[in-house]
């Protein structure tokens, strides 16, 4: 049996706020350590029937980047749910929610930056 590994390192400041996130994986086409400004990691605990999550972002992560990150994550969640379940109507609902979320986010950003 083959094993694949993903390694994540988080550098924290004195207040335990993430300053840097880096990762590497054995099953990737790119070599070396990659940097990230944010991460979302979820595990499904089948025994407890609950999701275990880690959400981190660095001080460098800008609000507009966070909106993009959430939109893209919601869209990829829809893709994964489609592959796993073939529930096309629910997948379309999720994609529509992501689009509406992003439109509202962009409108709020525009309004905030215009003032």
Per-residue pLDDT of 70-112, as tens digits, reads: 999 999 999 999 999 999 999 999 999 999 999 999 999 998 8
pLDDT for 115: 56
**Of 108, 115, 17, the residue nearest 63 (C-alpha):** 108
Phi, psi of 13 (to 5 degrees): -85, -175
Q: Could you give the angle at which helices 88-114 and 63-85 cross, rounded to 10 degrees?
A: 180
Identify the domain containing residue 105 by its residue range: 62-115
Work out how many domains the chain is built from and give that number: 2
71: how many CB neighbours lie within 10 A of its CB? 17
pLDDT for 44 beyond 90: yes
- Of 60, 78, 106, which residue is a domain's last? 60
**Of 11, 28, 32, 29, the residue nearest 20 (C-alpha):** 11
Does 89 lie in the same domain as 74? Answer: yes
Does 80 lie in the same domain as 56? Answer: no
pTM for this model (two decimals): 0.87
Q: How confident is the model at residue 64 (pLDDT cuts 50, 70, 90)?
A: very high
Q: How confident is the model at residue 41 (pLDDT cuts 50, 70, 90)?
A: very high
pLDDT for 114 beyond 90: no
Does 70 lie in the same domain as 55? Answer: no
């Amino acid at each position: 049996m083959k094993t694949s590994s993903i390694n994540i390192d988080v550098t924290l400041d004195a207040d335990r706020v993430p300053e840097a996130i880096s990762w590497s994986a054995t099953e990737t086409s790119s070599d070396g350590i990659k940097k990230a400004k944010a991460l979302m990691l979820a595990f499904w605990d089948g025994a407890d029937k609950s999701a275990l999550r880690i959400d981190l972002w660095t001080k460098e992560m800008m609000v507009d980047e966070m909106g993009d990150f959430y939109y893209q994550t919601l869209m990829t969640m829809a893709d994964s749910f489609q592959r796993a379940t073939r529930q096309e109507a629910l997948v379309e609902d999720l994609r529509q929610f992501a689009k509406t979320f992003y439109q509202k986010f962009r409108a709020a950003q525009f309004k905030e930056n215009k003032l």
